[in-house]
Amino acid sequence: MAYSAASALTRRFPRIARQLNYQREFLSPTSVRVNIPGGLPYEAFEAKGAKVTLWNLLQLFESTRAFAFWPIPDAERPDSSFADFKKVLMNNFFFIATAKLSIERQLYDEFLPKFPLSVNIKLDYVGRSSFLLTSTLSHANTSPYAECKVQSVLVDSETRKPTSFPDWWRQKYGNEASIDGSALIMKDLPDVDVNQCYQHDVIVYPRDSDAYLHTNWAQYARYCSDACSFGVLRNKYKTITEKSLQNGVKELEMSFRKESSVGDTLNIVSWETGDGLNFRVLKDSHTCVQTTMGFFPDISSTS
């Protein structure tokens, strides 16, 4: 099991990264820029064409991390790996613990350029077995479009339990003056009576999975977005309406507690928090993921 888990990771991500039309620039030991000449793909946009979907945006950020983490034959410094992550991942893997996506309203402006794009990735926090990466998406002629913070935990492939970073890695990167962030920790959502909440079920399909047949982290954003859309369509919310969907999501925060796998049926429980929604993704009544989703207000209400 340990061998298959580690080898799946070391095969999958480099295999994908080699096929991406990206370029990278190592800016410092703790920062790298990944350039995306083609910008956002066709499938990244929702049906009406104006909004970039949350899960595609998260997967875009994921793809740039993969491109930075692994040696790429035709990339700048082809044998290099950002923050020496390739060495760390030879017998381990990363489990995403918490993620926060912040979107600027201009990302939803169809008249602003969406290609080429770049993602600046910065190592922002180093703990004993965890680290935080902050990735910023932008176009050269605009201010940043979106920011994605991802807190990951290093997991031993054999024991499948958190493990400490090697001493050499912590000594090399833990004392960098440029690392000035803090851990990303999401507070527990309040307990609610799920029978008083809107509930939406989904099945995890193979297309939603990662190399281990576990649900890919970005798909939870899709499940919650779909639950929200169905809730609005069926008038299950009081303040979250079609107008909220038109305004677009401003912020998404997710905390990953347990894994789910291909074939699982997940129950998405959602309830309002004034101008946003809370979600619990349940598997067999146990929380896999908790999520908060906030929307942009009407432009008229902010003027």
Domains defined along the chain, listed by start:
1-185 (3.10.129.10), 186-302 (3.10.129.10)
Under 8 Å between Cβ of 156 and 91: yes
Q: Can you give the pLDDT at residue 161? A: 95
Q: Is the pTM of this model over 0.85?
A: yes
Q: Side by side, which strands form the sheet with 92-103?
A: 23-28, 31-36, 117-126, 130-138, 146-156, 92-103, 249-256, 286-295, 276-283, 265-272, 198-203
pLDDT at 11: 63
- Give how far the C-alpha of residue 300 lies from the chain's centroid of Cα atoms, to the nearest Å: 31
pLDDT score for 4: 42
Q: What angle do CA 63, 69, 70 make, to 5 degrees?
A: 100
**Would you state the pLDDT for residue 301?**
58
* Res 2: pLDDT: 36
5, pLDDT greater than 60 = no
Band of pLDDT at residue 180, cut at 50, 70 and 90: confident
Q: What is the dihedral of CA 183, 184, 190, 195, to 10 degrees?
A: -140
Alpha-carbon distance of 65 to 270, in angstroms, equals 30
* Per-residue pLDDT band at 40 (split at 50, 70, 90): very high
Residue 3 has pLDDT above 50, yes or no: no
> How high is the pLDDT of residue 72?
84
**pLDDT cut 70: percent of the chain above it:** 95
pLDDT of residue 134: 98
**302 vs 195, higher pLDDT:** 195
Residue 211: per-residue pLDDT: 81
